[in-house]
Amino acid sequence: MNTTNMSTDGFGIAYGVSTIGNSDVSGTIGLGWGYSGEDMMNKPILLLGGEARVSQSLKLISENWIFPDTDFSLISFGVRFFGKKLATDLALMYPLGANMGDGWPFFPWMSFAYNF
């Protein structure tokens, strides 16, 4: 493999996020500009999310990404199980604007977080 023409520039997203609410119900909004090397997107990606507690250790959650200048967005909905140190998210993601064919239109998502 010839690596002399491969770029070593990084890529990522520069973002800001704000959450309003309390431990029972909250909403989140964020803006992020993707970048690759020195090139940055002209328009931001929009994040809209929220969560609502339904019991002592269970919340309903949603996180949605809206991409500029496209018909594509990524929406999700699910549940978060949590205790004092461990949280687990089980969710389904749906790519709005994507041609999903005739099959199951959702992608499963599972994550774990441990607070030290």
Range of the domain at 77: 11-114
3-state secondary structure of 16: strand
Residue 15 lies in a domain: yes
21-76 pLDDT tens trace: 999 999 999 999 989 988 999 999 999 999 999 999 999 999 999 999 888 899 99
Distance CA 13, CA 47 (A): 12
Residue 62 lies in a domain: yes
Residue 20 lies in a domain: yes
Q: Quick check: 63 and 79 in contact, CB under 8 A?
A: no
- 44: number of Cβ within 10 Å: 18
- Out of 57-61, 86-90, 100-104, which region has the weakest mean confidence (pLDDT)? 100-104
Residue 6 lies in a domain: no
Residue 98 lies in a domain: yes
Residue 36 lies in a domain: yes
Closest C-alpha to 28, from 13, 16, 41: 16
The percent of residues above 70 in pLDDT, for the chain, comes to: 91
- Tracing tokens 């990404």 back to the chain, one arrives at 65
Q: Does residue 92 register a pLDDT over 90?
A: yes
Residue 27 lies in a domain: yes
- Tracing tokens 């328009």 back to the chain, one arrives at 43
92's CB contacts (< 8 A; 6+ apart) are: 76, 77, 78, 106, 107, 108, 109
Residue 1 lies in a domain: no
Q: Does residue 84 register a pLDDT over 80?
A: yes
- 65: number of Cβ within 10 Å: 19
Mean pLDDT score of the chain: 90
Query: Which residue would you say has higher pLDDT here, 105 or 46?
Result: 46
Q: How many domains are contained in the chain?
A: 1
